[in-house]
Chain A
Amino acid sequence: MAETDREGPTAGGEGRSRRSFLDWLLGFSAIGTLAAIVYPVLQFVFPPPRAKGRAKGAVLAAQASEMPPGSGKIFPLGTRPAILVHTPDGKWRAFSAKCTHLSCTVRYREDVHMIWCPCHDGGFDLTGKNVSGPPPAPLPEHAVVIKGDEVYVSEEAQVG
């Protein structure tokens, strides 16, 4: 009886500690297995960053003779759209064509001579400044170079 008394609690204690160790091991393995599944899946669904697709050097945006003063044109600059504007006073300007509000592609409005985003009625003046509606920031400007009749726009020389 005395032996049982002595051994019982010790055996029970050992059993409990062995059980809790196994529980811990099982839990740890389950979490480890889950993490080993979830981590690669998460890495898979979030795409790795790509090269920005910046235009190398200057891009031929338009023939100057095709764009009278007071007109605009959307053209690809790398992988993104840009807008070339020939202002009514004869200046050439180029901006990113992605609206700074919710990234719709803007257009030139010849009736009011401004850059306009149709998605939420955002307005930019011909210096790219956000002047009406919800856009929170100006359009980033690109550098324009005229060579004869050709109008080149360069992303690297981006201004502002």
Chain B
Amino acid sequence: MWTWLDERVGLEPLTHLAAQKVVPRHRYSIFYYLGGMALFLFIIQLGTGLLLLLYYEPGVSTAYESVKRISGEIPFGWLIRSIHRWSADIFIGVLALHMFTAYLMKAYRRPRELTWLTGVAAFGLALAFGFSGYLLPWDEIAFFATSVGTAVAGAFPLVGEPLLQLLRGGEDVTGATLARFFALHVVVLPFAALALLGIHLLLVQKHGMSVPPGVAEKGRARPFFPDFLMHDLVGWTLALALLAALAALLPAELGPKANPFASAPPEIKPEWYFYAPFQQLKMIPAFVGPFEGEAVGAVGFAILGLLFALVPFLDRQAARGERSPAFTVAGWIVFVYLVGLTCYAWLH
């Protein structure tokens, strides 16, 4: 079989890659597992997402009813939907950790700038996946979370209004918004994510794994195949068990059906990964100088994201292979700030 395929496809480059690929050993090596874990959870999302598509019916009069049917009538529908929800939450958490640890290890430095940029863009796509998927059940919380989220986009100076129209498909959150978010969630974002992921993984293969500046390697690098992959498999099995347990113990909920003529529920909160901007928007006063508070918040977060994406071009010391403690401290400050806001929003 191998020979048959080798003659027709040419498997030599693959076996060569598998034999050559190694993972450096040092005190921070454990963080190398985060990328593989994110990839595994993404595959879970693709699989469960495809299954949900068999029954989900987009549309104001069908979306909620079809999700209710998936959760209540379809055999194991509750399990598939709950794993999709939990896996999305954990996926974004793992991706955030992967990105933050790559930042602290200065993995963005030359020649890996494009690897970093594709990774940051992939994180942006993951947030867009979460935001667009949240509306699809068309329940009360989803409706208001989308109203607020799109209104934040609308708060940007100059581009806000067209952006709001583009996202909502009109002035308000309606069936037009649901149609757009559905198309975004199941067609546009998956294609974009697969393309970005492909480039990201290709660049990781090309440059190998980065060792942080000033960190001593411990002995010979570990072969990726089979050593590292076996460890990956253990992690993935544990993740699958965790997902199954969470789905069984805390299945995905479905609130009352969205009603544009009802008040927002008092306990309304977005998904955990939007807690930080949510809490920040709560805290910013109506006006900051001559500017409206929500515009300041939206632009502030956009600038923070942009600086983060451009860090390979700002951190000149790391680019020269030197330590850059100022960037490490700045990273920790932002991390503590975001985690602090998230915890505060969670507790209140």
Instruction: List the interface of chain A (C-beta within 8 A of B).
Output: 45-47, 50, 74-76, 79-81, 97, 101-107, 117-121, 130, 133-136
Which partner residue on chain A sits nearest B270 by CB separation? Answer: A119
For the A-B complex with A74-B262, A103-B151 known, give 17 more contacts whose Cβ atoms are closer than 8 Å: A45-B166, A46-B165, A47-B170, A74-B263, A79-B172, A102-B147, A102-B155, A102-B281, A105-B264, A107-B266, A120-B278, A120-B281, A133-B286, A134-B282, A134-B285, A136-B286, A136-B287
The 7 closest A-B pairs by CB, nearest first: A107-B263, A102-B151, A136-B286, A104-B264, A120-B282, A76-B261, A118-B266
- List, in ascending order, chain A residues with CB within 8 A of B264's CB: 104-107, 117-119
Report which of B169, B266, B293 forms a contact with A134, defined as CB distance below 8 A. B293
Whether A97 pairs with B263 at a CB distance below 8 angstroms is yes
Question: From residue B143, how far is it (CB to closest CB) to chain A in Å?
Answer: 9
26 CB-based A-B contacts, threshold 8 Å: A46-B162, A50-B170, A50-B171, A74-B262, A74-B263, A79-B172, A81-B261, A97-B263, A102-B151, A102-B155, A102-B294, A106-B263, A106-B264, A107-B266, A118-B263, A118-B265, A118-B268, A119-B144, A119-B148, A120-B282, A121-B282, A133-B282, A134-B285, A134-B286, A135-B286, A136-B287
**Which A residues lie within 8 Å of B169 (CB)?**
47
Is there an interface contact between B260 and A81, defined as CB atoms closer than 8 Å?
A: yes
Number of interface residues of B (CB under 8 A): 33
Shortest CB-to-CB span from A90 to chain B, Å, is 23
Render B297-309 as a binary contact track against A, CB cut-off 8 A, 1 for contact. 0000000000000
Tell me the minimal C-beta distance from A79 to chain B in angstroms: 7
Q: Mark B263-299, 1 if CB is under 8 A from A, else 0.
A: 1111110000000001001101111000011100000
Whether A102 pairs with B152 at a CB distance below 8 angstroms is: yes
Interface residues in chain B, defined as those with a beta carbon under 8 Å from any beta carbon in chain A: 144, 147-148, 151-152, 155, 162, 165-166, 169-172, 176, 260-268, 278, 281-282, 284-287, 292-294
Q: How far is the CA of A134 from the CA of B59 in the complex (A)?
A: 33
Contacts of A104 in B (CB 8 A): 144, 147-148, 264, 268
- Interface of A (DSSP majority class): loop
* In contact, A105 and B144 (Cβ under 8 angstroms): yes
A63 to B252, CA, bound (A): 39
Q: A47-B176, A102-B294, A134-B286 are in contact. Are A119 and B268 (CB under 8 A)?
A: yes
A130 to B293, CA, bound (A): 14
A-B pairs under 8 A by CB, number:
85
Q: Which residue of B lies closest to A73 (CB)?
A: B263
Query: What's the Cα separation between A2 and B89 when bound, in Å?
Result: 81
Complex Cα distance A134/B281, Å? 8
Kindly state the separation between the CA atoms of A47 and B285 in the bound complex, as whole angstroms.
33
- A46-B165, A47-B176 are known contacts. Are A105 and B282 too (CB-CB below 8 A)? no
> How far is A107 from B152 in the complex, measured between Cα atoms in Å?
21
The 8 Å CB contact of B263, one of A80, A103, A105, A134, is: A105
Nearest-CB distance from A106 to chain B (Å)? 6
Question: Considering the chains assembled together, what is the distance between the CA atoms of A130 and B166 in angstroms?
Answer: 29
- Asked if B284 and A134 sit within 8 Å, CB to CB, the answer is yes
Closest-by-CB residue of A relative to B267 is A118
CB distance from B169 to the nearest CB of A (A): 5
Q: Chain B's nearest CB lies how many Å from the CB of A86?
A: 16
* Distance to closest chain A CB from B104 (angstroms): 32
Complex: how many Å from CA A119 to CA B165? 21
Q: Which residues of B contact A134 (CB under 8 A)?
A: 281-282, 284-286, 293-294
User: Which residues of A lie under 8 Å from residue B171 when comparing CB positions?
Assistant: 50
Question: A96 to nearest B CB, angstroms?
Answer: 12
Contacts of A106 in B (CB 8 A): 263-264
In the bound complex, residues from chain B placing their C-beta under 8 Å from that of A118 are 263-268
Q: Within 8 Å CB of A75, what residues of B?
A: 261
A47 CA to B292 CA in the complex, in Å?
Answer: 27
Name the residue on A nearest B262 (C-beta). A74
Residues of A within 8 A of B294 (CB): 101-102, 134, 136
Q: Are B284 and A103 in contact (CB under 8 A)?
A: no
State A70–B278 Cα separation when bound (angstroms). Answer: 31
Could you tell me if B165 and A47 are in contact, using CB atoms closer than 8 angstroms?
A: yes
Residues from chain B with a CB closer than 8 A to the CB of A76 are 261
